Amino acid sequence: MLTNPQAPETFDALRQRIRDRFDGLSPHLQRIARASLVDPNTFALSTTAALGEALEIQPSTLIRFAKEFGYSGFSDLQRVFRQRLIEGAATVRDKVLDSTPSSAAADIGAILADSIAVHRQALESLLETCDHAALGRAIDAIRAADHVYVAGLRRSRPIADYLLYGLMRSERPCSLLDFAGGMAGSQIATIRPDDVLVAIAFPPYSPPVLEAVMDAHISGRRVVTITDSDQSPLAVNSHVCLTVASSTPSRMQPIGGAIALVHAILTAITPGAPPNAS
C-alpha cells in the first residue's frame, strides 16, 4: 500500500514494488505486471479496453491490479507511468542526434579512429567494472549445464550468435531461442532443472527476450543475463547478472565489451581450462 497518498509515487518506486511482489500475484495480475515492466510506454498510453484486449483479460482486472498496489483505480496508477514519459530524460537517440554533427563528407580516417575509441572505452570500462565473482558463477552455471539456451535480439543478436558459435565449437549442447519462428515459448517450456538460459539485452530491451527471462524465472529455471546494469528488467529475474555499460556518445552503440565478456566465458569453459577458483 502507498504509505503517503498525498505524495505521488515515483515510477522507479512503483516498478520495484511490482517486481518485489510479482511471485505472489495471481496469473492474471502477473500478466499485467509483466506488461508494465516490459513495455511501460504502451502501458502508459493505452486505454483499459486496449490493454484488456492485448492481455486477454477483463478491464476490471486492471482496476484490481491498481488496487492491489494501493491505488483507487487504474487511471491513478497509469498516471505514474505517464508522468515518467513527461519527466523522462532525452533518449539515447536524441542525445546522439543532438551531439553528432553531420558527417556526409567526414574524413574516413577520423570516423575509423572514433569508432575504435568508442570500443576501446567500452573494453576499458568492462575491465574496471566487471564483477569477477558474478562472472565466475556464470561460468560455473554454463559449464555445468546439460543444455544451454541462448536468447538475444536486435543488437544483442550477434552477441548471442557468438556465444552459440563458441558453445558449438566446444561441442556443448546448445540452442538459440527461435523468436522468428514463434517457438521460443515452447523451448522455454522444455528447459530442465539442469539446463540454463543465457539472455542478452540492452536498452531498449527487446520484449520477447524479457518475457523469455521472466517465464524461465517463474518456472524456477536458472537464468544468466548479460545486460547494461543491475537495474535492468533482466537482472531481477536472473540467477546471475553480468553487466556491461552500454551508453556511449555514438550513433551506433558498441558491442565490443559484451563480445569480450562472452569470449572470456567461452575460454573458461573450453575443455582443458582450469575450473573456476570461486
Strands 196-200 and 174-176: unpaired
Band of pLDDT at residue 143, cut at 50, 70 and 90: very high
Q: Which of 53, 87, 121 is the last residue of a domain?
A: 87
Where does the pLDDT of residue 194 fall: very low under 50, low under 70, confident under 90, or very high at 90 and above?
Answer: very high
Q: Which of 34-48, 156-170, 227-241 has the highest mean pLDDT?
A: 156-170
pLDDT the model gives residue 104: 46
Element (DSSP H or E) covering residue 189 = helix 184-189
* Residue 1 maps to a domain: no
Nearby residues of 128 by Cβ (< 8 Å), 6 or more positions away: none
Q: Is 83 in the same domain as 122?
A: no
Instruction: Name the grid cell of 95.
Output: 542525445
Q: What confidence tier does 114 reach under pLDDT thresholds 50, 70, 90?
A: confident
The domain that holds 255 is classified in CATH as 3.40.50.10490
- The tens digit of pLDDT for each residue in 229-252 reads 888 888 888 999 999 876 655 556
> Is 274 a member of any domain?
no
Residue 1 pLDDT exceeds 70: no
Whether residue 4 is contained in a domain is answered as no
Strand partners, 241: 225
Contact yes or no for 200/227 (Cβ under 8 A): yes
Characterize the bridge pairing of strands 148-152 and 174-176: parallel
Residue 64 above 90 pLDDT? yes
Average pLDDT over residues 30-57: 85
More confident residue, 275 or 12: 12
* Tally of domains within the chain: 2
Q: 186 versus 89: which is more confidently predicted?
A: 186
pLDDT at site 183: 85
